[in-house]
Amino acid sequence: MSDPTPPTTGDEPAVERTLADPAEEVTEINPDVDIAPEDIGVPVVSEGERLLEVDEVTLRFGGVVALNEVSFHINKGEILGLIGPNGAGKTTCFNVMTGVYQPTSGGVRYLGKPLGKRKKFQITKLGIARTFQNIRLFANMTALENVLVGVDAHHSTGVVSAMFRLPKHRREEAQGYARAIELLTFMGLDGKADELARNLPYGDQRRLEIARALATSPQLLCLDEPAAGFNPAEKAKLMELIRTIRDQGYTVLLIEHDMKLVMGVTDRIVVLEFGRKIAEGSPAEIRDNPAVIAAYLGVDEEDAS
Amino acid sequence: MSTTTSTPAARKPASPRFRERVNNLPKAVKILLWVLFAIFLFLLPLLNIPFITTEGSDFGGVLFTVATYVLVALGLNIVVGYAGLLDLGYVGFYAIGAYTIGVLTSEHAHMAWVVVVPIAIVIAMISGIILGAPTLRVRGDYLAIVTLGFGEIVRLTLVNSEWLGGAQGISDIPKPPSFELFEVPSIDWSSGAPVVDLDTTSTFLKFGINDFVPYYWLALGVISLVLLFDILVKSSRVGRAWEATREDEDAAELMGVPTFRFKLLAFALGAAIGGLSGALFATKAGFISPDSFQLLLSILFLAAVVVGGAGNRWGVIVGAIVVSYFPERFREFADFRVLVFGLALMLLAIFRPQGLLPPRRTVRAKRADERQAVLEEGDAHV
C-alpha cells in the first residue's frame, strides 16, 4: 500500500496483455535507450586499458585441480569470449573473479589492484557484475524489484532514512526507479515490470538477469551462457544485444558453448580445457588452432603425439 | 477503467477481490473506513458484543493478550517472513524484554516505566545482535537449531539465576503512570438489545489492577506505531534487500547486497519488537517467572506467523489473533482446544499451505499459474 513507485501499482494491464496475446512473448529490445554506466563512484577507465587481469590463478578442491595457473586479461571496451568443453573451468573462473571462491594461489587484479579477500558484494560495488548459467532471479519479486536490488548496490538508505522518509531515501528511490525502468525498457521488458520474475517466459528471465546485472552499473559484465536454451534466431538477437551493450560503454566477458556465435561476436577468445588455458587470440586464430580443434573434436591417440 | 478491462473480464467470472474493491474506493472513503475501523478497535472491549466476547475471562485482558501476540507476530514476521530466517527461540527476546522491566522497576531498581521500556527494547536488540552475529553465518536448519537453543538458554538462565529472581520470578512490577483523561462507558446486552451502561466505564489510560482495557489501548497504540514502522521500512531498499536475501542469498550477495548485515538487521529489529512485547506483558501481568517463557510459546509465535501467512503483515496479524483469541474464547472446552488447534493446523497445512492471508505476490503468482493453465487448456482444445 505504500509502494514508493506509484506508477506501477496497477499490475493488471500487463498481466491481461499476456492473456490476450501470448504471441507477444517475443520481446524486442530497444537499443536506442541510453544505459551507459552511471557515474556513481565506479572508476572509469579509458579504452584499451587492462580492466581485469587473471594472474596465474590455481584453484584446488581437495585433489581436484579446477583451475591450473590460468592467466589472461580483459581490455576495456572489448568482448572477450571464454570457451571450452564442459567441465573446463569456465564458470569456476567466473566464481574466482566475483569472489565466490578464493584462489589457492595466484590472484585477480582489477584496474591494477588485487581483489584480495574482498567480499562478493564489495566486488560487485567495484564494478564487476555477472549473470548465472542456471537462472537465479529473485523468483518471488517483480521484474522491477529484481532490477531495483541491483541498483541498490550503490545506495545506502538504511532503516533510519526509510523510517523517516529522509531526502536520501526519496532521492535514491526516485533515481533507482528511473534507472530500473530505463534498463527494463532497453531490454524490452518495460511492459512486464510488475510481473513476478518466476512468471516471465524463459527468454525474458534471461534478459532480466542481464538487466539486473547492468543495474549494478558494472565496468565489466560477465555473462555465463546467456544464450543457453535459445533457438538460433533468439541467439542471434542476443548477440546483437551484447554488441549493443558493449557499444554503450560496457566491457563484456562471455561464456558460450556455441562456437559459431562466439566467433561472430567476440573480439578475443580464451580457451580453457581441464582447468588450463590452451589458447588465446582473435576468433580467426582460435579457429585454426590445432589444440582448440583437438579439445572440441577430439583426436586419435596416434595423431595427438 | 471499466471499459478497458471489460474484454478480459468477460473471459473469467467478474469477481473483484476484496483488496481491489477497497483500493478502488475514493481516498476520502478509504480514510473514513480506516477511522471507523480504528474507533471500532478502540471500543471493542467495551462493546461487549455477544458471542465474540469471552465469557469466562475478562475480555479486556484477553484482548490485551491478543495484542501482545499481534506485536510479537509483527516482529517475528520481519525475521521469518521478510528475511526468511527460521527463528525458533523468539521467546528468548520476549523474556529479555519482560525481565528488563522486572529488574529495573522492581527487583534491583525503581526506575520510571517510560525510561525502562526503551531500555528493554535496546537490550533485546543488543541480545539479538549478540545471538545473530555468530549464528547468522549458518543457514536454514542449523539456524533453527541454534535459535531453539537460545530460547532455552534464556529460560534456564532465568531459572538458575538468583539475581533474576530464580524460579520464583519477579513480582510487584509497578504500573505505568496514568493519565486519566476521560471515561468511556460500556454497552450492556443483558436485556437483549444494546444499552449504554454509564456505571461500568473504563478510564482512558488509568492503569489499575482491575480494569485491563487501558493496557489494551496502550498495546493498540504500540501496534499502530510498529505497523507504521514496518510499512515504511519494508517499502525501501531495506525491505528489498531482505526479500532478495530470502529468495537467493548467493545471488543477492553477488548483486551487491551485504546479506549478512541485512540479516543481522532483521534479527535485531525482530528482537527489539519481541522485547517491546515482553515489556508490555510484564507491565500488565505485574509478575513474571521463567514459567511464562516456555518453549511452547516460541512455537505458538511461529505458528501465528505461519498460519497467517509469513511475509504478509496483515496475514500474521490474523494469524496471531487466531492463535491467541480462539483458545481463550473456547476455554470451556479445556484440553480439547489443543486437539482442535492441532487439527486446524493440519487442515490449514493441506488446504492453505501459504497461510490464511498469503503475501500478495504469492496470490499473484498463483493467479498467473491459473491463467497459464487456462491458456494451455485453450490451446489443447483448438
- 3-state SS of A88-146? CCHHHHHHHHCCCCCCCEEEEEECCEECCCCCHHHHHHHCEEECCCCCCCCCCCEHHHH
Closest CA to A215 of B244, B242, B262, B365: B244
A145 → chain B, closest CA residue: B240
User: Where does the pLDDT of residue B14 fall: very low under 50, low under 70, confident under 90, or very high at 90 and above?
Assistant: very low
The pLDDT assigned to B180 comes to: 78
Touching B: A residues 52-71, CB under 8 Å = none
The pLDDT assigned to B331 comes to: 75
Secondary structure (DSSP) of chain A: ---S-GGG---HHHHHHHHH-GGGGSPPP-TTS--PPP-SSPPP--TTSEEEEEEEEEEEETTEEEEEEEEEEEETT-EEEEE-STTSSHHHHHHHHTTSS--SEEEEEETTEE-TT--HHHHHHHTEEE--SS----TTSBHHHHHHHHHGGG----HHHHHTT-HHHHHHHHHHHHHHHHHHHHTT-GGGTTSBGGGS-HHHHHHHHHHHHHHT--SEEEEESTTTT--HHHHHHHHHHHHHHHHTT-EEEEE-S-HHHHHHH-SEEEEEETTEEEEEE-HHHHHH-HHHHHHHH---HHHH-
The pLDDT assigned to B191 comes to: 74
Residue A208 shares a structural domain with residue A225? no
Q: How many domains are there within chain B?
A: 1
- Over its C-alpha atoms, chain A yields an Rg (Å, rounded) of 20
Chain B residues with CB under 8 Å of A173 CB are: 236-237
Of B232, B252, B269, the CB nearest to A2: B232
Per DSSP, B177 falls in state P
Residue A55 shares a structural domain with residue A197? no
**Is the residue at A271 inside a domain?**
yes
Distances (CA, A) of B263 to A49, B203, B222: 39, 42, 24
Residue A285 shares a structural domain with residue A167? no
pLDDT at residue B109 greater than cutoff 90: no
d(CA A252, CA A242): 8
The pLDDT assigned to A35 comes to: 76
Residue A255 shares a structural domain with residue A290? yes
**A96, A149, A192, best to mutate vs chain B, most B CBs in 10 Å:** A149
The pLDDT assigned to A201 comes to: 92
Residue A47 shares a structural domain with residue A121? yes
Domain span including residue B150:
57-377
User: Where does the pLDDT of residue B367 fall: very low under 50, low under 70, confident under 90, or very high at 90 and above?
Assistant: low
Residue A49 shares a structural domain with residue A69? yes
Domain span including residue A278:
40-127+218-305
Closest CA to B253 of A208, A130, A115: A130
The pLDDT assigned to B25 comes to: 79
Touching B: A residues 200-219, CB under 8 Å = 212-213, 215-216
Q: What global pTM score does this model have?
A: 0.85
Q: What is the CATH number of the domain that holds B276?
A: 1.10.3470
Per DSSP, B256 falls in state T
Residue B153 is placed in which grid cell?
538458554
Query: Chunked in runs of 10, what are the mean pLDDT values of chain A (305 residues)?
Result: 41 40 54 70 70 92 90 92 88 91 92 89 92 92 94 90 91 92 91 90 93 93 90 88 90 87 89 91 90 78 51
Residue A229 shares a structural domain with residue A271? yes
Does the distance separating the beta carbons of A20 and B254 come in below 8 Å? no
Residue A228 shares a structural domain with residue A241? yes
Touching B: A residues 229-258, CB under 8 Å = none
Higher-pLDDT residue of A208 and B367 is: A208
pLDDT at residue B292 greater than cutoff 70: yes
Strand-pairing partners, residue A108, are: A54
Query: What are the pLDDT digits (tens) for B228-262?
Result: 999 999 999 999 999 999 999 999 999 999 999 99
Q: DSSP alpha helices (H): ranges in B103-236? A: 113-135, 140-160, 213-234
Does the distance separating the beta carbons of A216 and B250 come in below 8 Å? no
Q: How far is B181 from chain A (nearest CA, A)?
A: 30
**Is the residue at A90 inside a domain?**
yes
- Amino acid A131 reads T
**Is the residue at B349 inside a domain?**
yes
Q: Rounded to the nearest 5°, which phi and psi values hold at A288?
A: -95, 0
**Is the residue at A22 inside a domain?**
no
Q: Does A187 reach chain B within 8 Å, measured CB to CB?
A: no
**B254, B260, B379, best to mutate vs chain A, most A CBs in 10 Å:** B254
**Is the residue at A248 inside a domain?**
yes
Q: What is the mean pLDDT of residues B305-322?
A: 90
Query: What are the pLDDT digits (tens) for B81-101?
Result: 999 999 999 999 999 999 999
Q: How many domains are there within chain A?
A: 2
- Give this complex's ipTM: 0.84
The pLDDT assigned to A305 comes to: 44
Sheet (strand A50-61) strand order: A64-75, A50-61, A105-110, A113-114
pLDDT at residue B23 greater than cutoff 80: no
Contacts of B168 (CB under 8 A, 6+ apart): B289
Residue A212 shares a structural domain with residue A145? yes
Q: Does A195 reach chain B within 8 Å, measured CB to CB?
A: yes
Query: What are the pLDDT digits (tens) for A119-155?
Result: 999 999 999 999 999 999 999 999 999 999 999 999 9
Q: What is the CATH number of the domain that holds A104?
A: 3.40.50.300
Q: How far is A211 from chain B (nearest CA, A)?
A: 11
**Is the residue at B16 inside a domain?**
no
User: Where does the pLDDT of residue B154 fall: very low under 50, low under 70, confident under 90, or very high at 90 and above?
Assistant: very high
Of A18, A138, A199, the CB nearest to B247: A138
